[in-house]
């Protein structure tokens, strides 16, 4: 299958049209692509798109905030969110 065309409906939603690569089949499909959550914030002052923070990121931050304060370093504080939640 290959994507033949796509149309951006909004900055976070795109409609896609696909076609089966098997000549005998010839089926066509429509689908969509959406961006739902932010895993890490943009480095820009005014990003074009702002999404809600992912629940897993909120949970990780809440756990960090509720821990007793110590001088002990935590390696999870220095990992990318995708790696820490995998």
- The per-residue pLDDT for 41 is 84
- The whole-angstrom distance between residue 39's C-alpha and the CA centroid of its chain comes to 6
Instruction: Give the pLDDT confidence of 5-25 residue by residue, as tens digits.
Output: 999 999 999 999 999 999 999
Measure the CA–CA gap between 20 and 43, rounded to whole angstroms: 39
pLDDT of residue 77 exceeding 80: no
* pTM score above 0.85: no
Residues in the chain: 86
SS3 of 9, please? Answer: strand
Using the predicted structure, report yes or no on whether residue 83 has a pLDDT greater than 60. no
What confidence tens digit (pLDDT) does each residue in 46-68 have? 998 888 888 888 888 888 778 77
At residue 78, the pLDDT reads 66
Q: Which of helix, strand or coil describes residue 3?
A: strand
Instruction: For the chain, state the CA radius of gyration.
Output: 20
Predicted pLDDT of residue 54: 87
> In angstroms, rounded to a whole number, what is the distance separating the alpha carbons of residues 1 and 29?
9
- If phi > 0 it is left, if psi is from -120 to 50 it is alpha, else beta; for residue 26 that is left
């Amino acid at each position: 299958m290959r994507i033949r065309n796509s149309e951006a409906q909004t900055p976070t939603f795109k409609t896609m049209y696909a076609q089966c690569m098997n000549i005998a089949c010839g089926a066509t499909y429509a689908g969509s692509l959406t961006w739902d959550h932010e895993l890490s914030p943009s480095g820009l002052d005014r990003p074009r798109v702002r999404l809600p923070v992912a629940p897993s990121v909120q949970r990780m931050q809440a756990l960090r905030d509720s821990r007793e304060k110590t001088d002990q370093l935590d390696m999870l504080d220095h990992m990318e969110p995708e790696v820490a939640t995998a």
